[in-house]
Chain A
């Protein structure tokens, strides 16, 4: 059992450390100060030697200290403890030799086979290092006495969360730079089934953080390139891009019929095929309501000299052919020419077939802390109902131009910060055809002006904004491509957040959204008028949270989808309890009750009780979650299961992996989490799993050229 072997190694390692401590008993009486049995010799400006016995040999030009020797640098930078120390070349280039020494240097305890030192360097072979946070070994260690820099060859360092192996490393202060590095969380497993390889790794020993350049994730013999400058720490892996992507995609436009690409999808991404060429494979529609379809996409990215960039994606997306090609050529430092070609459908979207040529100019506006971007484009576009359909819903050429600018004041102190976002866009459609489109020439224009103000002072934050969007909304392609919608919306927020004292912390906020003028798509009125707050009490080991909200928009704006309600929720959470399985769990025990009262319907819409209980074993932890809504009992109905889910944690020698799925009132969610410090046999976590779920709620849509007029989803 590989993990047991790893444990044995860890145990042996601990024994070794103990043995080293005890083994140094032969020199244990070596003290680094002159005493009744300890004599002293100094080499002015270099070091002092404290010893039991001494002899010199003038003919050999050597001297030897023995019987327990301590050599200490004059400045105290390092100390060597050894049974004997030989000093050679006394009359010329003096140097030290010490068999089986122990070197103490800047918090490190380093044992080795043989030490050779002169006034400038210390060299130690077969070094065994014990540091404040990591321990390990190196074939050779060299220390530059003046700078305190370590150079290690063929090293292996082990912390509580990871092991670093490298061909060459330098340690300067707290940072270890490892070349040819391999970092793995699989401590004591040979070979490590999972590792991250990098050209260079920077290991911050105290914070136990690893930064890798040119990282490659190795799983067995499979190597998946990671992004440049990856940061890995044992507290969070938030910057680690997992090669597996989980997504839940809803069809757009919404339809009741099964849609290719909709539902739950899982993809393995970034599988390298060649330089700059990766493969993405997976499946969509893993839930029974949607069609199960394969995904196999090849992605290529190339960057030529002079800033020329190209990218291509081709293969099968949700069972249908897919092609996306882009080429960007700089014409001038401020001007780019972009050519794109696309044919296919993003998951659960209509298919788009398009060729597009654009010129994009950009310039910073430093005097107003902003920038300006202008673009002209010409495109031939066809939209079909799905990738398999050859009949266009709408097709035709598009000719467009746009200019967008941003500006902001510097921080004006008590006056806050003012900002302005603006955009003007015009698109001409000379002719269109298809199932739903008119045939005549059409021009769409749009203007957006969005001033905003923000002030943050201590626990108080305030913001005001206005979003004015003017457009004739004339695009025959609709919102899927560049459809614009008008809007006149004011927003405001005030919040106070922070610690209250006595273990209490909280947040209180008021926010409003008001559509000042009616548009063809939106009537005027308040769309949000809400006061909400949270009060949390930390009484170790419990955390109790009270959340309340009052939404009044529906009381003053009589429109569908504008709610009015009062909600209240109380939740309690505790880690490391209860002990139901064989081990103390890492997951949280949680229970709570919540209620929501609809002020318009004058009825209790939710009255929910929920419970999550962790159960931990040696290599497995489960945390089932269940929520029951009993509100219907009040109107003669039956309670129902309003939520359920399960977190499964697999505890391995490489850390733990938690996968979770939850259904909250019909909405599915999934999560993946990693804890690098957890190993089999461990007990009692006090923190949650550290990795936020790499789940994207919705994959990228078809793309849209019409930024200013996209209607917000809320309310």
Chain B
């Protein structure tokens, strides 16, 4: 078991997500004193003290108060469970990006995509590139997820299979809002092509 390092933020980053990451290396680590970059060749575990986000990766590289990059990543948090080949967290702006074998699994939603951008400040995840979901079943050009409410917005060309329907977007794409509904412990979605203004406002910066 390696040493525990605290990536404590200061100043402007003090209130940002990922402000208090605890890194536990699996094996050794290399610290470049010139660049300030720490590399964990055998990976390790990174935990956000505030949000409880836990990241396990086969390889980790980070620079305090700047970024963290990891590969062969498994990430658990309030948004669900994410696996990806590579991941980068911009510690200064609170942005998580992931790609390669990307998959998100959370209650009522199981999504795979080419890439993921997660704005930790807004708690909005954006999946892009061959987005596919098996629960519920849909494919879309882009998918926005409000990780707090569970609401989903399909954007661009999409096909959504909800119950007996197979909804197909207009040519050139459109929007389809999926509102998470939990009834008697059963998770489902109400679909609507007219997006509620508050939902649209929440997702607008990412459209």
Q: Do A and B come from one complex?
A: yes
B168 contacts A53, CB within 8 Å?
no
A43 contacts B190, CB within 8 Å?
no
Of A56-64, A229-237, A427-435, the segment with at least 4 beta carbons within 8 Å of chain B is: A56-64
Contact A36-B171, Cβ < 8 Å, known A58-B181, A90-B164: yes
A35 contacts B165, CB within 8 Å?
no
A59 contacts B181, CB within 8 Å?
yes
Contact A55-B167, Cβ < 8 Å, known A36-B172, A39-B174: no
User: Does B162 count as interface, using CB distance less than 8 angstroms?
Assistant: yes
> Which residue of the partner chain, among B172, B183, B194, contacts A58 with CB atoms under 8 Å?
B183
Cα separation A52 to B169 with both chains bound (whole Å)? 10
Within the complex, what minimum Cβ distance (angstroms) separates B64 from chain A?
Answer: 47
A39 contacts B170, CB within 8 Å?
yes
B181 contacts A43, CB within 8 Å?
no
A53: chain B residues at CB < 8 Å are 192-194
A38: chain B residues at CB < 8 Å are 170-171
Secondary structure type dominating chain A contacts: strand
User: Does A40 count as interface, using CB distance less than 8 angstroms?
Assistant: yes
Q: What are the interface flags for B88-114 relative to A under an 8 Å C-beta threshold, 1 for contact and 0 otherwise?
A: 000000000000000000000000000
Cα separation A411 to B163 with both chains bound (whole Å)? 69
Within the complex, what minimum Cβ distance (angstroms) separates B9 from chain A?
Answer: 42
Q: Which of B164, B176, B192, B194 has most A Cβ within 10 Å?
A: B164
A57 contacts B190, CB within 8 Å?
yes
Closest to B187 in A: A58
B200: chain A residues at CB < 8 Å are none
B183: chain A residues at CB < 8 Å are 58-59
Within the complex, what minimum Cβ distance (angstroms) separates B72 from chain A?
Answer: 38
B193 contacts A39, CB within 8 Å?
yes
Closest to A63 in B: B165
Within the complex, what minimum Cβ distance (angstroms) separates A34 from chain B?
Answer: 6
Cα separation A435 to B192 with both chains bound (whole Å)? 107
B169: chain A residues at CB < 8 Å are 39
Contact A40-B190, Cβ < 8 Å, known A59-B181, A59-B183: no
B164 contacts A94, CB within 8 Å?
yes
User: Does A54 count as interface, using CB distance less than 8 angstroms?
Assistant: yes
A40 contacts B168, CB within 8 Å?
yes
Q: What are the interface flags for B172-207 relative to A under an 8 Å C-beta threshold, 1 for contact and 0 otherwise?
A: 101010000101000011111110000000000000
A37: chain B residues at CB < 8 Å are 170
A54 contacts B167, CB within 8 Å?
yes
> Which residue of the partner chain, among A42, A55, A59, contacts B194 with CB atoms under 8 Å?
A55
Cα separation A159 to B168 with both chains bound (whole Å)? 43
User: Does B166 count as interface, using CB distance less than 8 angstroms?
Assistant: yes
Within the complex, what minimum Cβ distance (angstroms) separates A597 from chain B?
Answer: 85
Cα separation A302 to B10 with both chains bound (whole Å)? 116
B190 contacts A41, CB within 8 Å?
no
> Which residue of the partner chain, among A39, A44, A94, contacts B167 with CB atoms under 8 Å?
A39
User: Does A713 count as interface, using CB distance less than 8 angstroms?
Assistant: no
A41 contacts B163, CB within 8 Å?
no
A-B CB contacts (within 8 Å), total count: 67
B167: chain A residues at CB < 8 Å are 39-41, 54
A58 contacts B189, CB within 8 Å?
yes
User: Does A91 count as interface, using CB distance less than 8 angstroms?
Assistant: yes
Within the complex, what minimum Cβ distance (angstroms) separates B44 from chain A?
Answer: 43
Within the complex, what minimum Cβ distance (angstroms) separates B158 from chain A?
Answer: 9
Closest to A65 in B: B193
Cα separation A221 to B164 with both chains bound (whole Å)? 58
Cβ < 8 Å to B, chain A residues 37-82 = 37-44, 51-59, 63
B192 contacts A54, CB within 8 Å?
yes
A90: chain B residues at CB < 8 Å are 163-165
B165 contacts A43, CB within 8 Å?
yes
B168: chain A residues at CB < 8 Å are 34, 39-42
A56 contacts B171, CB within 8 Å?
no
A63: chain B residues at CB < 8 Å are 165, 191
Cβ < 8 Å to B, chain A residues 3-52 = 34-44, 51-52
A35 contacts B170, CB within 8 Å?
yes
A35 contacts B164, CB within 8 Å?
no
A91 contacts B165, CB within 8 Å?
no
Closest to B177 in A: A55
A91 contacts B192, CB within 8 Å?
no
> Which residue of the partner chain, among A35, A51, A52, contacts B171 with CB atoms under 8 Å?
A35
A42: chain B residues at CB < 8 Å are 165-166, 168
A58: chain B residues at CB < 8 Å are 181, 183, 188-190
Within the complex, what minimum Cβ distance (angstroms) separates A119 from chain B?
Answer: 11
Within the complex, what minimum Cβ distance (angstroms) separates B85 from chain A?
Answer: 34
Q: What are the interface flags for B2-42 relative to A under an 8 Å C-beta threshold, 1 for contact and 0 otherwise?
A: 00000000000000000000000000000000000000000
A57: chain B residues at CB < 8 Å are 190
Within the complex, what minimum Cβ distance (angstroms) separates A33 from chain B?
Answer: 10
Closest to A56 in B: B191
A54: chain B residues at CB < 8 Å are 167, 176, 191-193
B170 contacts A34, CB within 8 Å?
yes
Cβ < 8 Å to B, chain A residues 77-115 = 90-91, 94
Q: Which of A34, A37, A55 has most B Cβ within 10 Å?
A: A55
A55 contacts B190, CB within 8 Å?
yes
Within the complex, what minimum Cβ distance (angstroms) separates B48 from chain A?
Answer: 34
Within the complex, what minimum Cβ distance (angstroms) separates A72 from chain B?
Answer: 14
Cα separation A355 to B77 with both chains bound (whole Å)? 116
Closest to A38 in B: B170
Give the 8 A-B residue pairs with the shortest CB-CB distance, closest first: A55-B192, A40-B168, A58-B188, A56-B191, A54-B193, A53-B193, A41-B167, A39-B170
17 A-B contact pairs sorted by A residue (CB < 8 Å) = A38-B171, A39-B169, A41-B166, A42-B166, A43-B164, A52-B193, A53-B192, A54-B191, A54-B192, A55-B193, A55-B194, A56-B192, A57-B190, A58-B181, A58-B183, A63-B165, A63-B191
Which residues of B does A touch, CB under 8 Å?
Answer: 162-172, 174, 176, 181, 183, 188-194
Which residues of A does B touch, CB under 8 Å?
Answer: 34-44, 51-59, 63, 90-91, 94
Task: Contacts A42-B166, A53-B194, A56-B192 known; list 10 others, CB within 8 Å.
Answer: A34-B170, A38-B171, A39-B193, A42-B165, A54-B167, A55-B192, A55-B194, A56-B189, A56-B190, A90-B165
